[in-house]
């Protein structure tokens, strides 16, 4: 059930100690070395929800205002795109770090 909700799939490779970001239908293999990797489920960080809120706020503002020129609409949209991009990339870095920590703990727990 959780796999159906996931948009981005994170997998951990114990061989090269790396986290790979895969599309939902890609096989669970490391993008670095190509060996099989284990899927790591991590919750979405607050940055993901913040970026979503920023994009929705931009949508509401653009729909609520009656700006006649398309150039002005793009100028209004640019700051929202910048903040949303920063938050989403930050959130992806946080998710990958959490997956790396969880993968290392899984491998360490499995070897003991």
* CA atoms in the 13 A half-sphere facing the CB of 20: 23
- Global pTM? 0.78
Which secondary-structure segment (H or E) carries 50?
helix 46-64
Per-residue pLDDT at 10: 92
Per-residue pLDDT at 4: 46
Per-residue pLDDT at 91: 94
Per-residue pLDDT at 89: 95
Per-residue pLDDT at 24: 81
Which runs of E-coded beta strand occur in the chain? Answer: 9-13, 18-22, 38-40
Residue-by-residue pLDDT tens, the chain, 112 positions: 444 455 678 999 988 998 998 888 888 898 888 888 999 988 999 999 999 999 999 999 988 888 888 888 899 899 999 999 999 999 999 999 999 999 999 888 765 4
């Amino acid at each position: 059930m959780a796999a159906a909700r996931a948009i981005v799939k994170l997998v951990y490779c114990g061989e090269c100690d790396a986290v790979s970001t895969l599309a939902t239908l890609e096989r669970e293999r490391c993008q670095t070395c190509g060996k099989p990797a284990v899927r790591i489920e991590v919750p979405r960080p607050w940055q993901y929800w913040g970026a979503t809120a920023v994009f929705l706020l931009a949508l509401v503002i653009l729909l609520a205002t009656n700006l006649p020129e398309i150039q002005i609409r793009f100028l209004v949209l640019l700051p929202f795109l910048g903040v949303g991009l920063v938050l989403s990339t930050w959130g992806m870095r946080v998710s990958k770090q959490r997956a790396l920590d969880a993968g290392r703990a899984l491998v360490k727990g499995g070897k003991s």
